[in-house]
Structure 1
Amino acid sequence: MGTTRLKSRRRQDQGLKWPRITMAILATIGVIDTGSITFNRWGWIGSLSCPGGAEGCDKVLNSPWGSVLLGNGFEIPLSLFGLFSYLAILLMAIVPLLPGLTENKADLSRKTWWGLFLTACVMAVFSLILIWLMIFKIKAFCFFCFVSAFISITIFGLTLIGGGWDDFGELLFRGFILGIAVLLGGLIWASAADPKQSPLVNSLEVGISPAVKTQSTPDSISLAKHLKASGIVQYSAYWCPHCHEQKEMFGKEAVSELKIVECAEDGKNSQRSLCEAKGITGYPSWEINGKLYSGIQQLQDLADLSGYPGTRNF
């Protein structure tokens, strides 16, 4: 009888209040962290001051694992998914604490605890995958990425402590199944995004960009010559997959006509100081008439921006 009453009380347990408040604070920091990265990648804010060196942050955030490619040069920064996840954590953490929610408050609290646990579990496991990639694949240090991973893992720990779980075995079982699924999916994604799996990659160890394989059209060659004659510069990094994609859009003959500045510190013929002086924060970046355009640009757009007068059968 006593055991039954105990279980009944625990099912009504709304969990601890302080872990919710702590998670809300951490999630807010996570929103700032991932939001800053995302808005920087979109060019909405200026350069980020990265403890440990901006080169490491640039290399990690602009690596093949720093975004999700959707085709036609369109990409979504991976940090955007982190931003949405932290916003979800923040919302689920604070809603049951809002005043005036008396009706079904216990039910809402239990549902949000489950939501917090599952979301944090996904974030924590995926963060560990990203840290593994950063250390063993990219081999660079990104302070913002470590902060996000620390926050994700801490929030996951807080869900275990504060949820007032009535069946810890069920909780761990669900978490284990979800964690395995995220781990397998994450490793498949990481392998698919690995540039070393592509035949296009060559000599990255010595700071040389992959060879361009596509053939240029007469108009893409003409556009490249026009861009160079107009003083238009592409800022690039040898390890940047999006820079390579941009070059493939021109073709190997046209690329040889472009003025390309290497920004990676360990890249061949690096002009890192010039890139820093220009305020380059993402690759590729185009400098056209004194204005910077970040990200892959369609050849048609480059023609429009530069006032290219020729035919456009790119």
Structure 2
Amino acid sequence: MARKSRSRKHAPAKPTPARPRYAPDWITLGLSAFGMLVTGYLVITTLTTGTPVGCGVGSSCDIVQQSRWSTLLGLPVALWGFGLYLVIALVAGLGRARPKRWQQLWALSFFGLIFSLYLTLVGWLELDALCWWCTLSLATVLALVITLTFRRPGLDEGPFWGNFLLGRGVTVAVLLVALHGIYNGWFEAPADPKLEALAQHLDRTGATFYGAFWCPTCQDQKAIFGAAADDLPYFECSPNGRNAGLAFECASENISNFPTWVIGSRRLDGIQTPEDLARYSRFDWEGWQPPE
């Protein structure tokens, strides 16, 4: 007797649920785009050796733009800022769940705010100068933080801000300490013994390096000596601030350019190489040997 064939019934496959699409954060996108315009403009003027609008030679803005704080790890600070605004814009445009996206955007903006505040305070306290382009970027990232703070999506109740800020705050604090260390030479190589010996020789023989704290070329001169710069016979000509008069010692020497070296009866304007300083001060640069 022939068996009846039984047809197997398969359960219909469940359709894969469509991934929800979230609208971009247009407000954050707009603010980050404006920040990219500001920092992008500064990057272009830096790479083309141009001068940003309102940053004439010797102006407060120019002093900041020419200072050692205008670069970080060999790249313009404006380029780092452009990269941060770009990341914020990408995150704001991604289709992610709003709470997770908000946390990422707030953390990035908060770091940018602390970074901008740090550089602004350094310019004010160390250089007695402010860059209005940098201040505009600071205002933009501040607007991002304020806007995101007041637009926080509904999250679980509880001590949200305390836990959230603690986690992000520790990370930002570590990065800020590392940043401060980079700018203050904590990670510099030890002083070159030869440069250290030259610096001590210049000091011992009565040479004087006249400069000003806000002078970019003075910072470049010190950078040539690295950690040995602390031994240079440096004299500060603007002890009372950038806009105050010259110190009496500088005025009596008719110092009008920075840096100016006085070695014996010889005056040298501008940055000097170690070889030239050695020659003028009669330091045996070629034959110097480290002490045993």
Scaled by the length of structure 1, what TM-score is found?
Answer: 0.51
C-alpha distance in 2 between matches for 1:246 and 1:175? 37
Shift of 1:57: 1.8
What letter corresponds to residue 174 of structure 1 in structure 2?
G
- 2:44 equivalent among 33, 39, 42: 39
- Matching of residue 60 in structure 1 with residue 52 in structure 2: no
- Matching of residue 187 in structure 1 with residue 180 in structure 2: yes
Shift of 1:181: 2.1
List per-residue Cα deviations over 1:42-80 (Å, max 9, x = no partner). 11x7431127986222211121111134xxxxx311111
Shift of 1:37: 1.1
Structure 1 residues 61 and 34, CA gap change in structure 2 (3 angstroms)? same
Checking the alignment, whether the CA contact within 8 Å between 1:50 and 1:57 is kept in structure 2 is yes
C-alpha distance in 2 between matches for 1:172 and 1:244? 39
Checking the alignment, whether the CA contact within 8 Å between 1:34 and 1:79 is kept in structure 2 is yes
C-alpha distance in 1 between matches for 2:75 and 2:55? 25
List per-residue Cα deviations over 1:108-162 (Å, max 9, x = no partner). x333222212211211111111111010002112001111111122212222222
- Matching of residue 161 in structure 1 with residue 155 in structure 2: no
Structure 1 residues 40 and 240, CA gap change in structure 2 (3 angstroms)? farther
What letter corresponds to residue 211 of structure 2 in structure 1?
L
Shift of 1:187: 2.5
- Matching of residue 150 in structure 1 with residue 139 in structure 2: yes
Checking the alignment, whether the CA contact within 8 Å between 1:35 and 1:79 is kept in structure 2 is yes
State the SS of the aligned residue for 1:166.
coil
List per-residue Cα deviations over 1:249-293 (Å, max 9, x = no partner). xxxxxxxxxxxxxxx99995559xxxxxxxxxxxx9xxxxxxxxx
State the SS of the aligned residue for 1:185.
helix
User: Match of 1:304?
Assistant: none
Scaled by the length of structure 2, what TM-score is found?
Answer: 0.55
C-alpha distance in 1 between matches for 2:209 and 2:107? 40
Shift of 1:202: 4.5
- Matching of residue 94 in structure 1 with residue 101 in structure 2: no
C-alpha distance in 1 between matches for 2:212 and 2:223? 19
- Matching of residue 205 in structure 1 with residue 204 in structure 2: no
- Matching of residue 129 in structure 1 with residue 128 in structure 2: no
Q: Which has the larger radius of gyration?
A: 2
State the SS of the aligned residue for 1:116.
helix
What 5-or-longer segments of structure 2 have no aligned partner? 1-19, 200-207, 227-241, 259-269, 271-292
C-alpha distance in 1 between matches for 2:87 and 2:213? 42
- 2:167 equivalent among 174, 180, 186: 174
C-alpha distance in 2 between matches for 1:165 and 1:63? 44
C-alpha distance in 2 between matches for 1:26 and 1:52? 28
Checking the alignment, whether the CA contact within 8 Å between 1:62 and 1:240 is kept in structure 2 is no
What letter corresponds to residue 141 of structure 1 in structure 2?
L
- 1:110 equivalent among 90, 96, 99: 99
C-alpha distance in 2 between matches for 1:245 and 1:177? 32
Structure 1 residues 206 and 51, CA gap change in structure 2 (3 angstroms)? closer
Checking the alignment, whether the CA contact within 8 Å between 2:92 and 2:105 is kept in structure 1 is yes
Checking the alignment, whether the CA contact within 8 Å between 1:52 and 1:143 is kept in structure 2 is no
- 1:23 equivalent among 28, 45, 61: 28
Checking the alignment, whether the CA contact within 8 Å between 2:40 and 2:78 is kept in structure 1 is yes
Checking the alignment, whether the CA contact within 8 Å between 1:93 and 1:116 is kept in structure 2 is yes
Query: How many residue pairs align between the two structures?
Result: 195
Checking the alignment, whether the CA contact within 8 Å between 1:38 and 1:77 is kept in structure 2 is yes
Structure 1 residues 21 and 269, CA gap change in structure 2 (3 angstroms)? same
Deviates more, 1:134-143 or 1:184-193: 184-193
Structure 1 residues 240 and 178, CA gap change in structure 2 (3 angstroms)? same
C-alpha distance in 1 between matches for 2:145 and 2:43? 23
C-alpha distance in 1 between matches for 2:209 and 2:30? 45
Checking the alignment, whether the CA contact within 8 Å between 1:30 and 1:148 is kept in structure 2 is yes
State the SS of the aligned residue for 1:238.
helix
